């Protein structure tokens, strides 16, 4: 089974129609996919509405859970609580925040704001994650991403070291933009082990934690 909660379509900067992305994920053996296009106030309502339509249709006919969501991207750190709440109100079933990756000019403080917000599900590619932010994520039930995406993944080892000390729950995500970025079970395991997870942590990141996140989504 493959779980992946961070992907993009051509509704933002991905290559594929949402339906095609979901279909390719199903063929790759995905149990669940979060379709989380980049969003800010300008496009959030449209993105959530359009993703919801394709996700509902895909789930009706194919054996995959397709979860419509957003990745709040390059928004002011102070706006994250209100935007995450607005995304929920508009129907996003999954809220990801674009963390302070080492290769982009994300505003400092974004990791802390996301980790402290209970309307956020995942802090994505958080770069030089601080112990304070990691502890907040653990306290608030915000999952911390170990990413397969090139460039963003240079911080994975640091994220694991700090996140482990704070007791965070990790998930492995692809941050797919093109079809070749999609995970397979083998590649997800490679990403997890390459980040420094041990056997028990790999199982948690690939199975236990994704199932907990899905249970939370269905329980809302």
All domains in the chain, ordered by first residue: 2-219 (3.20.20.140)
Q: Give the pLDDT of residue 179.
A: 97
Q: What percent of the chain has pLDDT over 70?
A: 100
pLDDT at 1 over 90: no
Q: Give the pLDDT of residue 129.
A: 98
- Over residues 120-126, the mean pLDDT reads 98
220 pLDDT tier (thresholds 50, 70, 90): confident
**Average pLDDT for the chain:** 98
pTM over 0.85: yes
- Over residues 160-184, the mean pLDDT reads 98
Angle at 215 between CA 100 and CA 28, to 5 degrees: 70
Q: What percent of the chain has pLDDT over 90?
A: 99
What does the chain look like in DSSP terms, one character per residue? -EEEEEE--TTTT-SS-HHHHHHHHHHTTEEEEEEEEEE-TTTHHHHHHHHHHHHHHHHHHSSSEEEEEEEE-S--GGGHHHHHHHHHHTT-SEEEEE---TTS-PPTTHHHHHHT-TT--EEE--SS--HHHHHHHHHHT-EEEEE-STTGGGGHHHHHHHHHHHTPPEEEE--BSSGGG---HHHHHHHHHHTT--HHHHHIIIIIHHHHHHHHHHH-
What is the number of alpha carbons within 13 Å of residue 197 lying toward its C-beta?
26
pLDDT at 127 over 90: yes
- Over residues 183-193, the mean pLDDT reads 97
Q: Give the pLDDT of residue 116.
A: 97
């Amino acid at each position: 089974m493959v779980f992946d909660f961070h992907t993009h379509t051509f509704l933002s900067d991905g290559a594929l129609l949402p339906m095609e992305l979901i279909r390719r994920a199903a063929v790759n053996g995905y149990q669940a996919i979060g379709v989380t296009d980049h969003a800010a106030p300008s496009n959030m309502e449209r993105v959530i509405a359009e993703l919801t339509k394709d996700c509902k249709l895909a789930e009706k006919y194919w054996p995959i859970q397709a979860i419509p969501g957003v990745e709040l991207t390059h928004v002011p750190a102070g706006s994250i609580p209100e935007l995450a709440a607005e995304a929920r109100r508009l129907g996003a079933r999954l809220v990801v925040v674009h963390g302070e990756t080492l290769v982009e000019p994300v505003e400092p403080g974004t990791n802390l704001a996301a980790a402290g917000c209970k309307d956020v599900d995942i802090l994505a590619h958080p770069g030089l994650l601080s112990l304070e932010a990691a502890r907040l994520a653990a306290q608030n039930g915000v999952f911390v991403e170990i990413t397969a995406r090139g460039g963003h993944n240079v911080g994975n080892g640091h994220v694991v070291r700090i996140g482990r000390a704070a007791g965070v729950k990790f998930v492995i995500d692809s941050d797919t933009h093109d079809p070749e970025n999609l995970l397979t079970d083998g590649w997800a395991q490679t990403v997890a082990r390459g980040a420094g997870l041990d056997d028990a942590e790999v199982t948690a990141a690939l199975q236990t934690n994704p199932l907990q996140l899905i249970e939370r989504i269905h329980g809302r």
